[in-house]
Structure formats: C-alpha cells, structure tokens
Amino acid sequence: MRFDVLTIFPNMIKTIMSESILGRAQDNGFISINPVNIREYSKNKHKKVDDYPYGGGNGMVMTAEPIYNAYINITEKLDYKPKVIYLTPQGKTLTQKLVENFIEDQHIILLCGHYEGVDERVLEEIVDEEISMGDYVLTGGELPAMVFIDCLSRLIPGVLSNEESHIEESFYNGLLEYPQYTRPNEVFGRDVPEVLLSGHHLNIEKWRKEQSIKRTKLKRPDLYEKYISKNKL
Ligand SMILES: C[S@@+](CC[C@H](N)C(=O)[O-])C[C@H]1O[C@@H](n2cnc3c(N)ncnc32)[C@H](O)[C@@H]1O
C-alpha cells in the first residue's frame, strides 16, 4: 500500500515513520510512506502556503493552490484515482472498524492541515473522506495522519510478524484484550495467574475470553453492551 502525506512538515513524517515496525514494513516493501512537502508546490517567491482568512478572525489558513499542485503532481502520472483523506476534527472518528474500510485501497493520499485549517475549496475539489482522531483539536494533521497509517498498516498481511498478529487485540472482536504477563513469574509479590503456566491451551483460551469480557465490562461498558446485544448473551 502506498501512502503520500501532503504536509508542510515532511520531516515529522520521515523521522517517526522510519522507526520500528513501520520502518521494517517499508524496508521489506509492504508499504511505502512518502512525505510530500506542500511548500515545494507554492508558486509564491517566498514559498508561502498560508494567508489571512476572508472575513477576518484569528490565525492563518492554508491556501488551496500549493495543495492542489502537490495533488496533481502525484495523480497526473496515474491511471487510477487514489483515495484522498483530509485529517480534521470535523471528520468521522477513527475506530478499528472504520480503518478496516480502507484495507482494499492500494494508494491513499493524506492531507495534513495546519494553523486554522485549509481553504474549503481545495477540500471540495480533491478530498474523498474526512477523518478525525477524536473530539479535541491538535496543532496539525501530521500526528493524525501517522496514527491512521500505523493503524491501517498493521492490518496488511506481512507488516506484523505472526507473533505480533492483530487478531487477538482489543476491538478486533468487539472486546478489549485480556491481561498480558511475561517473565519472571513473580514480581512485586504478584504471581502470574496459575492457568497461564498450566500449558493447557483450552483452559488458557477460556480464561482469556472470560478476562476479556470482564475487563470490557469494567473499563468500557459501552463496548460491553454492544457485544452483549450483538452476540445475544
Ligand atoms: C488547529 S487545527 C484546525 C481546526 C479547525 N480550525 C477547526 O476548528 O475545525 C489544524 C489542523 O490540525 C489537524 N487536526 C486538528 N485536530 C484534529 C483531530 N482531532 N483529528 C484530525 N486532525 C486534526 C487538521 O488537519 C487541521 O486542519
């Protein structure tokens, strides 16, 4: 899967995305993440990418033209239209379920806003979907874009090794994941639950399922209610 990230801070993307599992996924060719510096597409002699808002008000607004030029530079060479996502607090809130809708996309362009946001007209012209990280306001779309890429990339076969598989993780089956333990089998006077040392796979599976349900009920009653009604329990 290819991600192009339209941003005025390409180094943020480059630095963070080259680490850890996503860095390895890029090295191994499962994904490619290309930061595109919007500033390079400004025709202004000072490479300006923002201006005052019409109607007055605080702050600056990102201008339409450099964003559109960056988009055209990517898409004019293609014989298909990649999906364009604008990261904005006004979009649909990102959930595990929402991200699964994008697994078939081969190429996604992510637009990161800054300042007071982006001239509405370029959004109308190029954007297919708007996605939010939640009901709070961040300084820019770069962190949201990276959260989106991380969350989607983990679903791509090969990105996670078998040991890192996502299928038992929180939200996959509508529940939070069971508690995890590693060596040593005693810390701070607390032991690992006996069943996990038993080697009895069926009992371990049963215990994990029970724990999963118990902690979902405790920590996320909203998810628990959905799970109960969906599974008619
Ligand atoms: C300061 S925000 C602008 C917020 C905008 N004035 C509004 O009230 O809707 C600057 C940029 O950060 C990004 N951003 C901020 N909060 C976000 C969130 N919760 N989810 C996704 N992107 C966000 C967007 O790309 C936005 O254009």
Identify which of 120, 137, 149 to mutate to test ligand 1's pocket (most ligand atoms within 8 A of the CB).
Answer: 137
Q: Token digits for 117?
A: 């946001």
- pTM over cut 0.85: yes
Distance in Å, CA 216 to ligand 1 centroid: 30
Q: Token digits for 221?
A: 């009653």
Per-residue model confidence (pLDDT) at position 163 = 63
**pLDDT tens, per residue, the chain with 233 residues:** 999 999 999 999 999 999 999 999 999 999 999 999 999 999 999 999 999 999 999 999 999 999 999 999 999 999 999 999 999 999 999 999 999 999 999 999 999 999 999 999 999 999 999 999 999 999 999 999 999 999 999 999 999 987 667 777 889 889 999 999 999 999 999 999 999 999 999 999 999 999 999 999 999 999 999 999 999 88
CB 131, CB 85: distance < 8 Å: yes
Torsion angle defined by CA atoms of residues 215, 221, 225 and 228, in that order, rounded to the nearest 10 degrees: 10
Identify which of 88, 110, 146 to mutate to test ligand 1's pocket (most ligand atoms within 8 A of the CB).
Answer: 88
Distance in Å, CA 151 to ligand 1 centroid: 19
Q: Is 54 left (phi over 0), alpha (psi -120 to 50) or beta?
A: beta
Q: Is 29 left (phi over 0), alpha (psi -120 to 50) or beta?
A: left
Distance in Å, CA 36 to ligand 1 centroid: 19
Residue 55 CA to residue 120 CA, distance in Å, equals: 14
Q: Ligand 1: which atom is nearest the Cα of residue 117?
A: 27
Per-residue model confidence (pLDDT) at position 225 = 97
Strands 186-187 and 61-62, by their bridges, are unpaired
Ranges of beta strands (E only) in 118-174 are 129-132
CB 86, CB 127: distance < 8 Å: yes
Task: Report the Cα 233 to chain-centroid distance in Å.
Answer: 32
Q: Verify whether ligand 1 is closer than 6 Å to residue 87 (CB atom).
A: yes
Ranges of beta strands (E only) in the chain are 2-7, 32-37, 50-51, 61-62, 83-93, 107-112, 129-132, 186-187, 190-191
Residue 25 burial class via C-beta count within 10 angstroms: exposed 0-12, middle 13-18, buried 19 and up: buried
Largest interatomic CA distance in the chain = 70
Residue 110 CA to residue 34 CA, distance in Å, equals: 10
Strands 129-132 and 2-7, by their bridges, are unpaired
Q: Token digits for 34?
A: 């290309």
